[in-house]
Structure 1
Amino acid sequence: MSYFLFFWQFFLLFLLILIPYSLFKLGYSNLDNNQKLIWCLIILLIPFFGGLAYLLVMRNKKIIK
């Protein structure tokens, strides 16, 4: 039972870090506003897969500083 609890706590902690980090990187990307809105909805509606998908797909794109 404790392994099950540890897994879910680790998973929730990972999500608490992944979602804001993905949204932060999305905010500073040089995508169009429509593309940013679509990615934001994907990240928020499908948190685990949306955040990972954004980070994997957009990792080589340039970011406005």
Structure 2
Amino acid sequence: MERRHAMRRVRDGLWEVYDIDNNKVVRVGGVPLTNLLDEDALDALDLIRDGFLTPAKSRRAKP
């Protein structure tokens, strides 16, 4: 299943990239894509879409 990503404003005019399906912040190499300037968030979305960045798989919550 293909993941869908978007960006949302968090605070102080900064942005984060999140997974639309599970509403969680996207992590790349263990680093959360949050508190980004708008240009950086847009660049991250482009890099994910083009396959240059690979988001980590979401972990399932333990029952």
Q: TM-score, normalised by structure 2?
A: 0.37
Larger fraction in helix:
1
Higher relative contact order (CA 8 A, sep 6+): 1
Larger fraction in strand:
2
Q: Which has the larger radius of gyration?
A: 1
Q: TM-score, normalised by structure 1?
A: 0.36
